[in-house]
Amino acid sequence: MTTELLEKAKRGRPPVMDTEHFLSYQKLWNHLVETRRGLLNKHYEIKGFGIIRKMQKDGITGLEYISDPVKEKFKAAILTELGHWDEESIRIIAPAICEAQKQPETKRTVHELCDYWREYRLHPERLSETVSENKEAIA
């Protein structure tokens, strides 16, 4: 990948990362990620991971489903989706996801969770369609 991709990307949405930031990510992750979208997803994953770790350092417990520092495991897809949100929203969404995963009747796959929160982020008006009879949202 070269700077040609950056020149190509001038149309459409404004960039999330500036050129310098993009090139530094490209140097760091070039052996794992080959596309612009992949680098952007890595950016969101790291942002989500940073906020979750900050929450854990602040003493918020119960986030082990998303990021478990003891086992050194984390759910990259969920972190990538969380990285699209602002910090305040992540502080609300992440505990809701982890709490829902503890209960068998509300447990979802990572793919289902990512789809739900992506849909809600892109189309918040559709949330009312996924609210159950007792007015509890699916986490």
- Kindly report, residue by residue over 58-77, the tens digit of the pLDDT: 999 899 999 988 888 899 99
Q: At 37, is the pLDDT very low, low, confident or very high (cuts 50, 70, 90)? A: confident
Collapsing DSSP states into helix, strand and coil, what is residue 12?
A: coil
Q: Is residue 71 part of a domain?
A: yes
Say yes or no to pLDDT of 49 above 80: yes
Helices (H) and strands (E) in the chain, counts: 6, 2
Q: Is residue 6 part of a domain?
A: no
Mean residue pLDDT across the chain: 82
Q: What is the pLDDT of residue 29?
A: 76
Q: Is residue 79 part of a domain?
A: yes
Q: Is residue 22 part of a domain?
A: yes
Which residue has better confidence, 38 or 29? 38
Q: Is residue 137 part of a domain?
A: no
Task: State the angle between helix axes of 36-57 and 87-102 in degrees (0 to 180), rounded to the nearest 10.
Answer: 80
- Total domains in the chain come to 1
Q: Is residue 7 part of a domain?
A: no
Q: Is residue 136 part of a domain?
A: no
Say yes or no to pLDDT of 16 above 70: yes
Over pLDDT 90: what percentage of the chain?
A: 37
67 DSSP assignment:
E
Q: What is the pLDDT of residue 136?
A: 53
Domain span at 75: 14-130
Q: What is the pLDDT of residue 34?
A: 80
Q: What is the pLDDT of residue 57?
A: 93
Q: What is the pLDDT of residue 76?
A: 92
Judged by phi (left if over 0) then psi (alpha if -120 to 50, else beta), residue 22 lies in alpha
Q: What is the pLDDT of residue 134?
A: 47
Q: Is residue 138 part of a domain?
A: no
